[in-house]
Amino acid sequence: MSTQSNRPVITPISLSISRWSADCVTYFINFSFLGGVWGCFNSIPIPGSKEALAIAESGKFVPLRPFSSISSVGYYGATIGSVVFVSKFVSGGVAVVRGRYDLWNELIGFGAVAAYWSTVLSHDTRVVWNNRFVGGALASAVVYASVAP
């Protein structure tokens, strides 16, 4: 009697380059959307916004109402989307290079996110430039998709 199971072997998405890149983009789009939804309902204003300045002047924290700060939608969408993209890009890239998908790939991706967080997302000006880069990349992708044959 064989000890092997009759169940099909599930191949992880990230073992081919085309599936890896599609996986990265799909996760970026999905989590950017979720970050935008989070920005709609988040009661804490983003740094440097007019709501944050009003709270700083008054000295009293007043939570924001849902949908009251449109600038936080793009802020949280780009930030959360880029964090997930870095994680999937690094862990999927390691999986493609190693030829297998396991926990070590995810741990290396988590380490990359920790480095990304400490270097880019820990300073307000770098976060602004990160979000501008993400928005520019997204806009250029839409333009390319519109004009590509």
- Whether 70 and 41 have beta carbons less than 8 Å apart is answered as no
Two tokens at 49? 């916004």
Q: What is the pTM of this model?
A: 0.77
Two tokens at 77? 């969408």
Q: Where are the domains of the chain?
A: 13-147
- Residue by residue, pLDDT tens for the chain (149 residues) are 556 666 655 555 546 788 888 888 889 989 999 999 998 898 888 877 888 888 888 888 888 888 877 888 888 899 999 999 999 999 999 988 888 888 899 999 999 999 999 999 888 889 889 988 988 888 888 888 888 77
Contacts of range 70-74, beta carbons closer than 8 Å, 24 or more positions apart: 71/46, 72/39, 72/40, 72/42, 72/45, 72/46, 73/36, 73/39, 73/40, 74/36, 74/39, 74/131, 74/135
